[in-house]
Amino acid sequence: MMRLYNIILVLSSVLLSSDGFSASVASSPSLLNKVEDDNKFWKWRGHDIYTEAYNQPDGEHKPTCILLHGFGASTVYYRETIKVLQQEGYNVHALDLLGQGRSAKPYNEDNSVTNKVEYSINLWGNMVDDYAKHKQLDDVVLMGNSIGSLVCLSAATGDFSDSKSNTYLAGKVKGLCLFNCGVGLNSRNVIKNPNFNEVQRVLFNSLFDLLNTLIFDNAVLLRYALDNIVTKELLKDALKSLYTNSPERVDDELVDSFYYPAKGGEGCVESIRQIYCNDAGLTPLEYHQKYPEILDHIPLHLIWGELDVVTPLSGDVGTFYCDRVANNRSGNGKTTIDVINSGHVPFDDNPVATHKSMLKWLNSKVVKN
């Protein structure tokens, strides 16, 4: 537990804001065979959301892939995935979630209720649904890493809405591809482990409350850490611990995409504070229990880095999905999993193995159907 919290604490110090980020993005290698490079900001509820859209010319119809990043990241680490999907003829859209990446990080100085953002998995799920509606996307495959995987589940099930059948993406999600799926908005969801007894739950709840009081709900401390502790060298070392297969892929582009934006804006601190202190939302197990009529009928593929220390395969979520696949819990073989030599970011740490698995699944389970 503490090892996991320490790792995520390092990552929490690198949540992004938009200041200084554009220069590093401009140096990104150009994509191959792209027909449209529509990199721009989309206005959502008055906030700027950074989006990238790469669309194919009219021709063979394949679903549109929407890529959703994990905590503290952005579209940058999907650099290889975007290329591969483009080369295979898929339309690709990638978003920076509100409060992260190049997207806006709202901050109400007077802490008023008006226009205040409450970060949650369902807030981002709603954002993805609205984006798909804005773009009038038809068949969609949602792909997410870590927290982004939970956003995929929220968007696919419509859990963010009281009228789930009326969400835009209802019936349009043709597949889910989850890379090292997370347990919740924050680690507090580990308390839902069915093997814990009541005493263990009380102890872990108290531990989380203490950590939040001393660290994560302390805006002054968080700002001090961002301004005075976070360095490029620290970030590089932290990222390399997540890139267990190819640590050399932690290059200047990746480090810069975390470093520069973390250096400014109270909205960045507020985003970190809320993500750690707000309700963790549903676990993947709860999504499947709540929406079997949806999730049992959508092709769902998991690609898991076996050396991940943030969301280990042996954890609650990994164990749940391994059991789901091994025992065909959905009843129709719709859920599949591949375990590869990688850490927490398999698509950028081991892109060859990850994309081979991803494309095989897309071609056999999604496009074929």
List, for residues 157-183, the tens digit of each pLDDT value. 999 999 877 899 999 999 999 999 999
Q: What is the pTM of this model?
A: 0.89
* Cα–Cα distance, 226 to 133 (Å, whole number): 36
Phi-psi region of 268 (alpha: psi -120 to 50; beta: other; left: phi over 0): alpha
Residues of the chain with pLDDT under 50: 1-37
What is the CA 350 to chain-centroid distance, rounded? 18
Position 60 scores a pLDDT of 66
Classify strands 140-146 and 300-305 as parallel, antiparallel or unpaired. Answer: unpaired
| Residue 234 CB contacts under 8 Å (≥ 6 apart), including other chains | 10
Position 111 scores a pLDDT of 58
- Please give the C-alpha separations between residue 161 and each of 125, 185, 231, 272, 322, in angstroms, as whole numbers: 9, 18, 40, 25, 29
Backbone φ and ψ for 228, nearest 5 degrees, come out as -120, -15
* C-beta neighbour count of 17 within 10 angstroms: 26
Position 39 scores a pLDDT of 60
Position 56 scores a pLDDT of 84
Amino acid at 127: M
Position 26 scores a pLDDT of 34
**Domain limits of the chain?**
2-366
* Own/partner long-range contacts of 217-224 (Cβ < 8 Å, ≥24 apart): 217/273, 217/276, 217/277, 219/266, 219/269, 219/270, 219/273, 222/12, 222/13, 222/269, 222/272, 222/273, 223/266, 223/269
> How many residues are there in the chain?
369
Classify strands 40-44 and 47-54 as parallel, antiparallel or unpaired. Answer: antiparallel
Three-state helix/strand/coil letters over the chain: CHHHHHHHHHHHCCCCCCCCCHHHHHCCCCCCCCCCCCCEEEEECCEEEEEEEECCCCCCCCCEEEEECCCCCCHHHHHHHHHHHHHCCCCEEEECCCCCCCCCCCCCCCCCCCCCCCCCHHHHHHHHHHHHHHHCCCCEEEEEEEHHHHHHHHHHHCCCCCCHHHCCCCCCEEEEEEEEECCCCCHHHHHHCCCCCHHHHHHHHHHHHHHHHHHHCCHHHHHHHHHHCCCHHHHHHHHHCCCCCCHHHCCHHHHHHHHHHHHCCHHHHHHHHHHHHCCCCCCHHHHHHHCHHHHCCCCEEEEEECCCCCCCCCCHHHHHHHHHHHCCCCCCCCEEEEEECCCCCHHHHCHHHHHHHHHHHHHHHHCCC
- Please give the C-alpha separations between residue 99 and each of 106, 153, 265, in angstroms, as whole numbers: 7, 19, 11
* Cα–Cα distance, 101 to 258 (Å, whole number): 8
Position 101 scores a pLDDT of 87
What is the CA 270 to chain-centroid distance, rounded? 19
Q: Which pair of tokens denotes residue 188?
A: 């507090």
* Cα–Cα distance, 309 to 4 (Å, whole number): 7
Amino acid at 51: T
Superfamily covering domain 2-366: Alpha/Beta hydrolase fold, catalytic domain (3.40.50.1820)
